[in-house]
Amino acid sequence: MSNGENVEPPSVGLTTHPQEFHAIASICTATEVEIGGRRQLGLRDARDLHVGLNVGRDFTTWIKGRIEEYGLVEGRDYEVSQSPNLGTGNGGHTGGSPTKTYRLTLSVAKELAMVEGNEIGKLVRRYFLWCEDRATRPAVPPPPEPTLAERRLRVMERISAIRMVDQIRRTKGPQAAADSLPGIYADVGVRVIASPAPPQQEMDLPPGK
């Protein structure tokens, strides 16, 4: 079986998946693994795949059978690590046979899901394909920096907006500026530093009025 590409998985992005993958992604999560000295997308423990596929056979029989049947190569398609079994055995003694953990490349995980030949296997494979697509999709480049002329234009537009708000504020008051230019006033009105609006002049009323 051919190995998957040496993909640098994103640190984020695979945690938000379509609704149909929520359950399976919580069981056999595709994540970054190191196999053959290369970091790539895969599964940290093939036991998770065994559970997700709802395989009837015990894990050890299943994984060893698949490795032999499909000619999987250690260090290319998978890697094995051992950890001590800290459970309590008969007679209350702790320890036991070491537990083997099989790390799988994503391409191997996809094929093992496919060969199950059932609906669960198809769902798991679609989930892995989705993860692979997200991991290999080119990142969206950031927008280009504005040119000097564009920056100058933005500054002039802002100065013009501030002057416009200030002029209305001076002549008609802050509320009139807010009512006349709500979008501009909300952006720059509170930042305008200007003298207070002039008080309204009192009208000379005739005597007796």
Residue 191 to residue 43: CA distance in whole angstroms: 54
131 and 38 in one domain?
yes
Encode pLDDT of 69-80 as tens digits. Answer: 999 999 999 999
Q: Is 197 a domain residue?
A: no
User: Which sign does the torsion angle of CA 140, 145, 147, 153 carry?
Assistant: positive
Same domain for 26 and 126: yes
Whether 127 is covered by a domain: the verdict is yes
pLDDT at 164: 78
Residue 191 buriedness (CB in 10 A; 0-12 / 13-18 / 19+)? exposed
* CA separation for the pair 200, 202 (Å, rounded): 6
Question: Is residue 49 included in any domain, yes or no?
Answer: yes
Structural domains in the chain (count): 2
Q: What is the pLDDT of residues 138-171, one digit of tens each?
A: 766 777 888 888 888 888 887 887 787 778 778 8
Same domain, 28 and 76: yes
- Identify the domain containing residue 60 by its residue range: 19-136
The answer to whether the CB of 59 falls within 8 A of the CB of 79 is no
What angle separates helix 106-114 from helix 119-136, to the nearest 10 degrees? 160
Does residue 205 belong to any structural domain of this protein?
Answer: no
Length of the chain: 209
Residue 198 to residue 78: CA distance in whole angstroms: 80
Identify whether residues 41 and 101 lie together within a single domain. yes
In a domain, 198, yes or no: no
Question: Which two structure tokens, joined as six digits, stand for 106?
Answer: 């994503």
- Tell me if 124 is assigned to some domain: yes
| pLDDT range class, residue 106, cuts 50, 70, 90 | very high
Taking a C-beta distance cutoff of 8 angstroms, is the pair 25, 48 a contact? no
Q: Which two tokens stand for residue 54?
A: 């709802």
Neighbouring C-alpha atoms within 13 Å toward the C-beta of 2: 3
Let me know whether 28 and 119 are in one domain: yes
- pLDDT one-digit tens code per residue, 166-190: 787 788 877 776 776 666 656 554 4
Tokens 């008969």 belong to residue = 90
| Same-domain check for residues 80 and 183 | no
Same domain, 120 and 32: yes
Q: Where are the beta strands (DSSP E) in 95-174?
A: 99-105
Is residue 8 in a domain?
no
Among residues 101, 136, 171, the one where a domain terminates is 136
Q: Could you say which of 96, 112, 136 is where a domain stops?
A: 136
Which pLDDT value is given to residue 115? 94
Statement to judge: residues 120 and 180 lie in one domain: no
Same domain? For 154 and 125 the reply is: no
